[in-house]
């Protein structure tokens, strides 16, 4: 009777393990599918955001070029310039060994961080 109980417990444990493995495999598949969907939505979001900021292309006449659209384009230009300057600063820091930046470079980085 004791061996029968042990065998039944062992069988139940094996069944639960197989069930967990099957469930985990299903969750991994769902996770992979959701990651792909996430990537697609991020790309779509970036594209829509760029379109909203940049407005229609040169071949399309602007529908209603309001002040807000102009302000957003100007802000985009400033942000792109900040980004270029930050990348140059990062490259200089990495070329210098990455440990410490000079006072001038720190000043430039502070200026980037303080600008709005």
Going through 26-75 in order, the beta strands assigned E by DSSP cover none
The per-residue pLDDT for 109 is 58
CA nearest neighbour of 81 among 55, 115, 106, 48: 115
Q: Are residues 6 and 45 in the same domain?
A: yes
Q: Are residues 111 and 90 in the same domain?
A: yes
Give ∠ CA 44-47-51 in degrees, rounded to 5: 140
The answer to whether residues 4 and 51 belong to one domain is yes
pLDDT of residue 116: 40
Model pLDDT, residue 38: 94
Integer CA distances (angstroms), 21 to 14, 28, 31, 34, 113, in order: 10, 10, 15, 20, 49
Domain with 79 in it: 67-115
- Reported residue count of the chain is 116
Residue 4 included in any domain: yes
Q: Considering Cα of 69, then 73, then 79, then 80, what sign does the dihedral take?
A: positive
Give the count of beta carbons closer than 10 Å to the beta carbon of residue 95.
8
Q: Are residues 49 and 71 in the same domain?
A: no
Number of domains in the chain: 2
Are 80 and 51 part of one and the same domain? no
**Within a domain: residue 60?**
no
| pTM across the whole model | 0.40
Low-confidence ranges of the chain (pLDDT < 50): 99, 101, 116
């Amino acid at each position: 009777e004791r061996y029968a109980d042990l065998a039944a417990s062992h069988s139940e444990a094996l069944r639960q393990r197989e069930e967990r493995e099957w469930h985990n495999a299903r969750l991994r598949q769902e996770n992979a599918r959701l990651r792909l969907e996430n990537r697609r939505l991020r790309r779509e979001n970036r594209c829509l955001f760029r379109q909203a900021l940049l407005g229609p292309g040169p071949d399309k006449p602007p529908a209603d070029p309001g002040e807000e659209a102009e302000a957003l384009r100007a802000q985009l230009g400033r942000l792109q310039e900040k980004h270029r300057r930050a990348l140059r600063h990062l490259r200089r820091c990495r070329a210098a060994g990455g440990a410490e930046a000079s006072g001038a470079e720190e000043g430039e980085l502070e200026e980037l961080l303080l600008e709005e």
